A and B are shown apart, each in its own frame.
Chain A
Amino acid sequence: MTGSAILIQFMNGLAGASSLFLVAAGLSLIFGVTRIVNFAHGSFYMLGLYLAYSLIERFGHGAAGFWAAILVAAVAVAFLGLLVEVFVLRRLYASPELLQLLATFALVLVIQDFTLWVWGPEDLLGPRVPGLDAAVTIVGHRFPQYDLLLIVLGPLILVALHLLLTRTRWGTLVRAATEDREMAGALGVNQKWLFTAVFALGALLAGGGGALQIPREPANLFLDLSVIADAFVVVVVGGLGSVPGAFLAALLIAEIKAFCIGIGSLAIAGHVISLSKLTLVVEFLVMAVVLVLRPWGLLGRLRAQPRGGGGVERPLVLPSRPALYGLGAMAMLLAVLPALTAGYPLILLTDIFVFALFAVSLHFIMGPGGMPSFGHAAYFGLGAYGAGLLLLRGGMPMESALALGPLLGGFAALLFGWFCVRLSGVYMAMLTLAFAQISWSIAFQWDSVTGGSNGLIGIWPAAWLASRTAYYYLTLAVSAGCIVMLWRMLHSPFGYALRAGRDSPLRADAIGIDVRRQQWAAFVVAGIFAAVAGALYVFSKGSISPDALAVPRSVDGLVMVLLGGIQTLTGPVWGAALFTWLQDTASRNVEYWRAVIGLVILALVLAFPQGLAGFLRQRLSPGADEP
């Protein structure tokens, strides 16, 4: 690269950084104060863009119309954020941690279908900005005027936010709540309206950030998910709740991307490495490195854990005798089902068994282990790839491939877990996500082994297991067996030690429990069992592609666990059954099925803030949840 090319790529990076910062700043603020992991932030961004597009059409293509449209779009999204906070999230602050995540996930689904319904399926390319629609010449290269504006705008908004947070009374209260929200509440700060205001401000930044992309980005339906992952990475790399950190992280990531593209490919010791292809995953690589070296991000600090709210969990008790009988009876019922039908219920139930095991394995580390994971699909997918590769490339019989394939997931959990257990809370969750994305990109890129984005096909069970009924029995037996093993483990000394480490790491350490080691072991156990689910999955589908390791699969797992109720043992099973059935039924009967799923989840979250099984438990044994 020549000197002038380096300068221009650096400026491209600056423009990209400003765009990233605008979305990430809002997300960071929201998390810092309310501790809500707002999945819908990307949806706010997308709505901002679509709204701005329509408003410009209405206000006219002049400069005044353009800027008015941007402003109105941002304010409209802020108002939507306000409504969401008041009518949905406010009811959930007392719920177990992460349940708000489920609600925001439901919003993502609803907003996706709403956008499709209102604006239609076609991409909408907005106009260029009047007065800033040309390029200027800088050291012999043409550079868009609008990008120059963005380069200035990012730091300006950073300064504005900084002043707002440090020089106003409201900002002082926000910072106080970020540091210790119970203390702020105890000192008489009205948390309710503080939270609402912060959430609306975050939505304003997201909507405005989207609207400002009008000249650079066509309004399209993929934006929400593509933006949310980037925004999370920026927020975590910068340090949760730190606005300057978010700016620094956005700058770092955007510049690294710009130079990966600028350099193109690199020859190292005879191998040509395509840095352009690396942009697929580079932000996650950066996040993994930063989190390993600085567990709280670049400018983040260890924050006081919020007290109250979800609070300390009730001790896990052995299931009562009637409950055990009930589960046994259910298993018997499922075992005789194939006598009644050979068709469709078996297909759906096979999927449900697989996902039940996946969800239980995730619950194992998330609930009793106290280690949230946003990347559990990595182990599921690697188990599936392991089994598929052993069958197709290793020439192994199906039975051995099914038994040995999950080891790949286990090894990955052993490696990734070592890093992950050194972190906690959302940082840990994001590190698991980073590792999952890295695994995904390897499966996606390693064409000669994994089949690349198309994946591998022709992975069918052995002849004696090939019928739907036979495979149903296999899945039932293996899933049920594994689930019972996981539950049993939670009531073994290992399980007790694990929960001791979760509830009180210091005391657990004092009585001689190596907390990290326990957590690491639990991570590996959960990884192996997720991988078993993956191996069962691949033989029921006959194929595997990188989707199985991707973020949506991890999110599905989270949704299942949270829907069922994270504080209960059997919750994940009910959650998996409900979610899988709902997807199947809704997509069969309704056109806008994603919105229906979203609305059902929202209704369930609001009606049963403890999850399904948590609700049932409260009903069945009143007083059990009293402190």
Chain B
Amino acid sequence: MKIKRALLALSLAAAVGGNAVAQPIKVGELNSYKRFPAFLEPYKKGWQLALEEINTAGGVDGRKLEVVSRDDGGNPGDAVRVADELIARDKVSMLMGEFASNIGLAVSSLAKQRKIVFVAAEPLTDKLVWGDGNRYTFRLRPSTYMQVAMLVPEAVKLKKMRWALVYPNYEYGQSAAASFKKLMTAAQPGIRIVAEQAPPLGKIDAGAVVQALQDAKPDAIFSALFAADLQKFVREGSLRGLFKGRPVFNLLGGEPEYLDPLKDETPEGWWVTGYPWRQIETPAHKKFLAAYEKRWHDYPRMGSVVGYATMYSVADALKKARSTDSDALIAALEGLEVQTPFGPIVYRAVDHQSTMGAYVGQLAKKNGKGVMVNWHYADGNSFLPPPAEARALRGQ
């Protein structure tokens, strides 16, 4: 009898104790860390910082948040295997991450098939939420279309008629150019595209491209180049005098990842989308900046903000859903408001796109470094199509 009672007490204690140290909630994270390290190392630091903050503040409903992070091998086939393993082996409740558009789309398709929520951090393709959007996929960053739309009002103000386009030859560049043409023609009928150069990604023949653009005698230039292509284009273009008297608009050109390598060759006056981290004085950003610099002894890049905001989106969704069930999570994410270093954002119910924006401004040189001046925050919400149109884009 006594023994029985003792056993009962023991098992009760075990049950209570088990509740006190509740199982952590597992989130699967995957990205092409070794293929795109320039963007993704800061990204990883961003979500790690957010994760530490969340868990220090008590986690989600008293449960710790645990992120199982994996390299996706840098191609869609391996990424799908890794994601599927995160689901089957690590039993994660949600997926987050991804950088390249083709890999992001492949994982979003798996998310739909396995009925698990996927918060895409970085992939820019419009298709992720529109043409190929699905119920289980949400996306944080402003898409290619949105970022182009943010630049267009400034481009229209200049009243230039002859435009030259240069963009990396893959979906991001192609759709950036297509959106630019469409939006510009609507805002300023009669503009002419006098040259269009689409060098292979990472392999721009900068001298020849600059020369070809010059020969077309454009009034202004729209570029979607980034990383090494952008650096080569800037150097050749300045050397050969392409930018003299010609305004240039460059998508993503103000992101520290792509701006910082230019150092004292930063082309002044270019209009760009980016992240002027030194100068954003909002309380939300100052708090983030201080925490990031304290934790990593480094300044944040665009990727840092993306990683940080993605992690908070996931945590807030789990908090609001009070469950790890996919349907509950979808309901929670639709219309979810998240506090980010850029201010509050909302995941739209209609197309699962967040209203995170980007900073639009001009490039300048300061102490041999590139900075953004003259900038303003372009709220994503103002550059998204209205719900009815978005629904049509999703084929609903």
List residues of chain A with CB under 8 Å of any chain B CB.
1-2, 5, 8-9, 12-13, 15-16, 112-113, 116, 121-125, 128, 134-135, 141-144, 147, 215-218, 220-222, 226, 257-258, 261-262, 264-265, 274, 276-277, 279-280, 342-344, 346-348, 351, 444, 447, 452-455, 457-458, 460, 466, 468, 537, 540-548, 552, 583-584, 587-588, 592-594
B170 at the interface (CB under 8 A from A): yes
Interchain Cβ contacts under 8 Å between A and B, 15 examples: A134-B239, A142-B239, A144-B236, A261-B197, A262-B211, A279-B199, A444-B170, A452-B171, A454-B105, A455-B106, A541-B80, A541-B110, A542-B106, A543-B76, A545-B76
Residues from chain A with a CB closer than 8 A to the CB of B200 are: 279-280
With A125-B263, A216-B206 already in contact, the answer to whether A1 and B231 are too (CB < 8 A) is no
With A125-B231, A220-B227, A348-B81 already in contact, the answer to whether A15 and B207 are too (CB < 8 A) is yes
Q: How far is the CB of B250 from chain A (nearest CB, A)?
A: 16
Q: How far is the CB of B361 from chain A (nearest CB, A)?
A: 22
Q: How far is the CA of A540 from the CA of B110 in the complex (A)?
A: 10
With A8-B211, A545-B102 already in contact, the answer to whether A218 and B75 are too (CB < 8 A) is no
Encode contact with A along B183-212: 1 for CB under 8 Å, 0 otherwise.
000000000000111111011011111011
State whether B231 touches A5 (Cβ < 8 A): no
Residues from chain A with a CB closer than 8 A to the CB of B212 are: 9, 261-262, 264, 276
Across the two chains, which residue of chain B brings its CB closest to A384? B77
Across the two chains, which residue of chain A brings its CB closest to B103? A545
With A125-B262, A261-B205, A454-B127 already in contact, the answer to whether A218 and B80 are too (CB < 8 A) is no
**Which of B76, B196, B212, B235 has the most chain A CB atoms closer than 10 A to its own CB?**
B212
State whether B105 touches A141 (Cβ < 8 A): no
Encode contact with A along B355-366: 1 for CB under 8 Å, 0 otherwise.
000000000000
Across the two chains, which residue of chain B brings its CB closest to A11? B207
B219 at the interface (CB under 8 A from A): no
State whether A123 touches B196 (Cβ < 8 A): no
With A277-B198, A453-B171 already in contact, the answer to whether A258 and B89 are too (CB < 8 A) is no
Q: How far is the CA of A351 from the CA of B82 in the complex (A)?
A: 11
State whether A124 touches B261 (Cβ < 8 A): yes
Interface size class of B (residues with CB under 8 A): 35 or more
State whether A584 touches B81 (Cβ < 8 A): yes
State whether B37 touches A455 (Cβ < 8 A): no
State whether A547 touches B34 (Cβ < 8 A): no
Encode contact with A along B136-168: 1 for CB under 8 Å, 0 otherwise.
000000000000000000000000000000000
Q: How far is the CA of A467 from the CA of B303 in the complex (A)?
A: 36
State whether A142 touches B207 (Cβ < 8 A): no
With A348-B85, A547-B77, A583-B78 already in contact, the answer to whether A121 and B37 are too (CB < 8 A) is yes
- Which listed residue (B109, B203, B211, B236) contacts A9, Cβ 8 A? B211
State whether A16 touches B208 (Cβ < 8 A): yes
Q: How far is the CB of B45 from chain A (nearest CB, A)?
A: 12
**Which of B81, B110, B197 has the most chain A CB atoms closer than 10 A to its own CB?**
B81
With A276-B196, A594-B34 already in contact, the answer to whether A262 and B76 are too (CB < 8 A) is no
Residues from chain A with a CB closer than 8 A to the CB of B211 are: 5, 8-9, 12, 141, 261-262
Residues from chain B with a CB closer than 8 A to the CB of A279 are: 199-200, 203, 205
Q: How far is the CA of A543 from the CA of B113 in the complex (A)?
A: 11
With A15-B207, A261-B205, A460-B113 already in contact, the answer to whether A543 and B197 are too (CB < 8 A) is no
Residues from chain A with a CB closer than 8 A to the CB of B106 are: 455, 457, 541-543, 545
Q: How far is the CA of A261 from the CA of B196 in the complex (A)?
A: 10
Q: How far is the CB of B231 from chain A (nearest CB, A)?
A: 5
New contact pairs (12) apart from A144-B240, A220-B228, CB-CB < 8 Å: A125-B262, A216-B232, A257-B208, A276-B196, A279-B205, A342-B88, A348-B85, A457-B108, A545-B105, A546-B102, A547-B76, A592-B34
Residues from chain B with a CB closer than 8 A to the CB of A16 are: 205, 207-208
State whether A142 touches B78 (Cβ < 8 A): no
Q: How far is the CA of A539 from the CA of B22 in the complex (A)?
A: 38
With A12-B208, A143-B240, A279-B199 already in contact, the answer to whether A262 and B70 are too (CB < 8 A) is no
Q: How far is the CA of A277 from the CA of B232 in the complex (A)?
A: 18
State whether B207 touches A12 (Cβ < 8 A): yes
State whether B257 touches A543 (Cβ < 8 A): no
With A9-B211, A135-B240, A144-B239 already in contact, the answer to whether A280 and B227 are too (CB < 8 A) is no
Q: How far is the CB of A213 from chain B (nearest CB, A)?
A: 10
Residues from chain B with a CB closer than 8 A to the CB of A2 are: 215
Q: How far is the CA of A378 from the CA of B54 in the complex (A)?
A: 47
State whether A123 touches B261 (Cβ < 8 A): yes
- Which listed residue (B75, B171, B205, B239) contacts A547, Cβ 8 A? B75
Residues from chain A with a CB closer than 8 A to the CB of B108 are: 457
B268 at the interface (CB under 8 A from A): no
Q: How far is the CA of A466 from the CA of B197 in the complex (A)?
A: 44
With A5-B211, A452-B171, A455-B102 already in contact, the answer to whether A347 and B262 are too (CB < 8 A) is no
